A and B are shown apart, each in its own frame.
Chain A
Amino acid sequence: MYKTFAKIKVNVNEEGYLTDFNQWTKEIGTEIAKEQKIEMTDKNWKVIDYIHDKFKKEEALSIRGIKKSGVVDIKEFYQLFPGGPLKKATMIAGVPKPKSCI
């Protein structure tokens, strides 16, 4: 499946998550955020940087990890990405959604 963000065609899965992180750019992230009705502030991008760091180290993402990250506290995380923050932040970051095994 393909989708076009910021005039760039990228591979996405059924739910709109990028399937190849190498295709991600900040412009694409901004466009995905717009679709999710989220306006990206510096604070939002700091969270995205943190998610990228975890993704590159192949470490699992969790709400607790966010809490311990020192980037934001959880209430703030909900304010920055309202309505399922982990799900939305990972989509904007261009990384897979946190999953169970089935």
Chain B
Amino acid sequence: MKNLVILGAGTAGTMMANHLVSKLKEDIWKITIIDQYKTHYYQPGFLFLPFDIYTTKQVKKSGKEFIPKEVNYIQEKIEQIIPDKNEIILDNSKRLNYDILIIATGTKIAPEETEGMTGPMWHKNIFDFYTYEGAKALRNKFREWEGGKLVIHITEMPIKCPVAPLEFAFLADSYFKNEGIRDKVDITYVTPLDGAFTKPKATEALHYLLEEKGIKEVTDFNIERVDYENNKIIDYEDTEIDYDLLVTVPTNMGDSLIERSGLGDDLNFVPTNKATLQTTANENIFALGDCTNLPTSKAGSVAHFEAEILTENILRYIEGKKLKEEFDGHANCFIETGNGKALLIDFNYTQEPVEGSFPFPGVGPLSLLKESRINHMGKMAFKWIYWNMLIKGMHIPFVSATMTKRGKKLN
């Protein structure tokens, strides 16, 4: 028997297990997936949890439900990958050999990277919303908060779901309007980039959103430390921003397993070929999802498109064929803009988001880079699609793994 091992049973790893179980001959290949956590979180739901739009129950399920029964599912912490020996060491010192390894260990927040962030005020008046615990703690804070300076802050790029902080700002505007205290809440969006929107067409099409919602923008802010005693964030040029409530997106890093195994870059992301999804260091190790260093968004849709292409490349690798250089960085993301509306963007490594219709050119029903109610319905329907189709590795009808230019207004 040969061994294919998948590290991580999150969105990307679970999808790969589901794809491969029907494609690999079961008398030759044994598929194993390893993850220390029992819960599978619907991570896009963390955005809605603080605003009481989703309940805690709606964002978590048992991971076991989504792993095919033919797959060997090990719930154990992974200690190290030893590429030279094609070996995995688990936390309980058990060893496992692999012929092919797929890394899908994702990205984590690393608030300890910024001085003062995880001090005594962490989850008191400094929150993240990229973890279940952070999003839930923030929900409880919002329920009792009476207003003040709300600062929404990005520490550094890259981050998972790069539009989530903006969506958070839009939803906060709606939430406090509904609570009747919007006039008591001052919302500031702080980014290390030179704008909340950084691509020219998106800036042109969407900047009105910040203006109409009265959200202030502070750009080029590279945080040095959080002064939690005086409720200030301070950057390397000594610019100070006061807050009463800080909602920050901390530094995102790959799993520490990657660092322990010597397979990562500065941020523990795995250097990966951007078209084939083979890691650059080892030809029998592949990577997908948030754990890679690819210059595309860290998002579930990206993992979904990558999974379709990686499945084919795993089969080609087994047959000794040349890998397909097919992945184009395709991402497709709904962006909540508040008040029951949303945007949709569809883009790849080279094509920035533009206006148009999706998925049917000229028809829609979804519109690209424009606010609409139907886009919001799409975002809400996505939770069902996620649990019932996406992580089961099913193809989403009419949406191809590579980006299509049809239906897009290109110059």
Interface residues of A (CB under 8 A from B): 13-15, 57-60, 62-65, 68, 74-75, 78, 83-84, 86-87, 97-102
Contact = CB atoms under 8 A, between A and B. Distances in A.
A58 B280 CA distance: 12
Contacts of A101: 162-163, 199, 297, 331, 333, 345, 347, 353
B206 interface: yes
A78 to B, nearest CB: 6
Q: Summarize A's interface: helix, strand, loop or mixed.
A: loop
Contacts of A102: 162-163, 166, 197-199, 202, 206, 335, 345, 353
Contacts, number: 78
Range for the number of chain B residues in contact with chain A? 35 or more
Contacts of B271: 57, 59
Interface in B185-222: 191-194, 197-200, 202, 206, 220, 222
Interface of B: 113, 156-158, 162-163, 166, 191-194, 197-200, 202, 206, 220, 222, 224, 236-237, 251, 265-267, 271, 274, 293, 295, 297, 331, 333, 335, 345, 347, 353
Contacts of B293: 59-60
B225 to A, nearest CB: 12
Contacts of B251: 64
A87 B194 contact: yes
13 contacts: A58-B295, A60-B157, A63-B236, A64-B113, A64-B266, A74-B222, A75-B236, A97-B198, A99-B193, A101-B163, A101-B345, A102-B199, A102-B353
A99 B198 contact: yes
Contacts of A97: 194, 198
Contact of B198 (A14, A78, A100): A100
Q: Which of A59, A75, A98, A99 gathers the greatest number of chain B CB atoms within 10 Å?
A: A99
